[in-house]
Amino acid sequence: MGRSTTTAATASPSSACGTPTKYHWQRTNALAGESTATVTWDIVPDIPRGTYRIVHFGEAKNGLAGAISTFTGTSRPFTVS
């Protein structure tokens, strides 16, 4: 069975720089227990230049056994210039 995300996103540097991070979760297949999560980060003009990544910490529930496991998703590094 698929897994579904049950927690919100934690993204850095959003909290450090005061820019909004948005998290959108959508069930894509209820029967298989599959879902998709999208994290976006709105970069404001005064954000410090540098290389960043968005990190998502979550929990997933196995559809058959009901066991909960933790996971981490990390974006590829991207540059703000």
Q: Choose between 75 and 16: higher pLDDT.
A: 75
Q: Enumerate the β-bridge partners of residue 45.
A: none
DSSP string, 39-80: EEE---TTPPPEEE--EEEEEEEETTT--EEEEEEEPPPEEE
Each residue of 4-15: pLDDT tens digit?
333 333 344 444
Gap between the Cα atoms of 7 and 71, Å rounded: 10
Asked if the model's pLDDT at residue 2 lies above 50, the reply is no
CA–CA distance, 81 with 75 (Å, rounded to integer)? 18
* Whether pLDDT at 76 is above 70: yes
For the stretch 17-50, pLDDT in tens is 567 889 999 999 888 778 888 988 888 888 899 9
Q: Residue 10: what pLDDT?
A: 39
Residue 24 CB partners (closer than 8 Å, separation 6+): 37, 38, 39, 40
Does the structure show a pLDDT above 70 at 3? no
